[in-house]
Chain A
């Protein structure tokens, strides 16, 4: 299975593998344990190019090139290319038709770009904590949030 991740998931993922002084944020530890599960079960994790752009916007510019190179080494990066662009237009028309959507529509451009990158890459699942991404992806691709860790099965005393 291939799983496409949104920006907040990438932020939590990287924080989760920072050295020991990382704050114990619940979503960071949740993401870390989910990613470990995905890796153990041999699932592929994809990162859309617009997510990389957003992620790096929150990073010191002197580190952008090196960070981007490391991301491209580690993850398949799904580009916002011609196929994704055509699918963006489909999605846009489904949401707004030919009317001018105003500020609301402009706000949704990145949400839609992430959805169409996931579709163009043939991802099975898109993982995001953004309501609009969930709304645009509905019916086109399975969307989810980072799941809570699976409970560890404990043997009952005497078993």
Chain B
């Protein structure tokens, strides 16, 4: 490999054989990595499969931006420092996909840059995805659906909490219910894992769809006003709210 702008991904190990690993499995790993690289502002990523043989599948990923790909540098550094949970959502998902592959096939995913013989990063089945300070809670995450489906069903959400795209694990049944809501804002209830240092969402497993939908504000508030009728907040609402809070004392 002579071009310095090439990143080689080698799926290798005991269980990685052509007979055992369907093509869609290693393409899923490659697809996740390419998505992570592209999310870092490298739109011209080219994926080339250069070697397939017993014991390994070698994919080479070329970019017109040379080897200074910020997204890849961030992934490599996060693997070195065991801080995968600090990566942006798409990059974290790429590493998680590789970890799942490594676990499933008792293998590993190696990365080599330029003409290097030794891998600059390796993902194993036990590569830690979560940090030490992780908080778990059942909650609702709101955002706009940008993608639904996949062999392992996931809902892609532009989440309000993150301001970025996250992939939410879900059941096939839930994916089918969310699919007609593509490009709309929804609320998904489920289990979230948060990095307690950065308060970023590390992982989210969606269990259900809430009743929230994007609706015209005028109609929604008019319906609410019709239900509520006259409220008891009086003329000076600011003072009334201050008084309610003061009365707690």
Contact = CB atoms under 8 A, between A and B. Distances in A.
SS of A interface (majority): helix
B221 A13 contact: yes
B245 A15 contact: no
Contact of B137 (A82, A107, A108, A110): A82
A83 B217 contact: no
SS of B interface (majority): mixed
A140 B222 CA distance: 33
B228 A67 contact: yes
Interface residues of B, number: 48
B173 interface: no
B151 interface: no
Contact of B240 (A58, A104, A107): A58
Interface string A54-89: 110111100100110111111111010111001100
Nearest to B240: A58
Interface string A1-25: 0100011100111111111000001
Interface in B156-200: 159-163, 185, 187, 194, 196, 199
Given A36-B218, A122-B163, 19 more contacts: A8-B233, A8-B241, A11-B231, A17-B224, A35-B221, A39-B217, A54-B244, A66-B227, A73-B213, A74-B217, A76-B160, A76-B212, A81-B138, A81-B139, A82-B137, A83-B139, A103-B249, A121-B160, A122-B159
